[in-house]
Chains A and B, each alone.
Chain A
Amino acid sequence: DVQLVESGGGLVQPGGSLRLSCAASGFVFSSYSMYWVRQAPGKGLVWVSHISADGSATEYADSVKGRFTISRDNAKNTVFLQLNSLRVEDTAVYYCTKGSDSWGQGTLVTVSS
């Protein structure tokens, strides 16, 4: 079975940084694009970033471009999301997903002073 396990969320002050990780298992990780999606409290789903299977191509939502960086380590079956210059409006549960067919349990990022 596909498993995606996110970690790294927490409480951070505005302007701070966090690094989210998503450990994958149950499929050939190096063959699939991976995505991060976030959901602010009580709100809907928003795509944040995408990385191609080999890591050569990345995409970002305009709201995070220049502040977030997606990367992956295919040897460790893990995808990362580096969050810099965090804003209050970045507060959300961040989900790792394998192209919408499998989702992790999410990790909560709270940006507050």
Chain B
Amino acid sequence: DVVMTQSPLSLSVTLGQSASISCRSSQSLVSSNGHTYLMWLRQRPGHSPRRLISSVSNRDSGVPDRFSGSGSGTDFTLTLSRVEAEDVGVYYCMQATYWPHTFGQGTILEIK
């Protein structure tokens, strides 16, 4: 199985500041069709996960442009600029290039 490794595992950010979460995969996530199926999801306490970004950098509908994804191959980053209180939760990277799809361990974001 592809192992997804996130860092840091927890993050304390001042309102209005930026935050970055790294995600590394144990093998390249470029599929045979050339696409890279790397997603970012957030799970707020007591809620279901919600996808924020698909295919490395495509924001889902309704996701603020404060969220951006980047990376390629095995190294990926989620960047949150101007962090707001509503951004708290656990952030997961997820690969859907190979079955079984796999998630990172999750990064807890809290407001300082």
Interface set of A (CB-CB < 8 Å, partner B) = 35, 44-47, 50, 59, 61-62, 95, 99-101, 103-106
Question: Does B48 have its Cβ within 8 Å of any Cβ on chain A?
Answer: yes
Q: Report the tally of A-B residue pairs with Cβ distances under 8 A.
A: 43
The 5 closest A-B pairs by CB, nearest first: A103-B48, A45-B103, A47-B101, A47-B100, A44-B106
Instruction: Select B60's contact among A35, A45, A99, A101, beta carbons within 8 Å.
Output: A101
**Cβ B92 vs Cβ A59 within 8 A:** no
Contact with A along B77-112 (1 / 0, CB 8 A): 000000000000000101010011111111000000
Contact A95 B49, CB 8 Å, known A59-B99, A100-B94, A100-B96? yes
Question: Does B30 have its Cβ within 8 Å of any Cβ on chain A?
Answer: no
Q: Determine the residue in chain B with the shortest Cβ distance to A4.
A: B48
Q: Determine the residue in chain A with the shortest Cβ distance to B99.
A: A59
**Cβ B54 vs Cβ A101 within 8 A:** yes
Q: Determine the residue in chain A with the shortest Cβ distance to B96.
A: A100
Query: Bound complex: CA of A81 vs CA of B47, how far in Å?
Result: 21
Q: Determine the residue in chain B with the shortest Cβ distance to A99.
A: B96
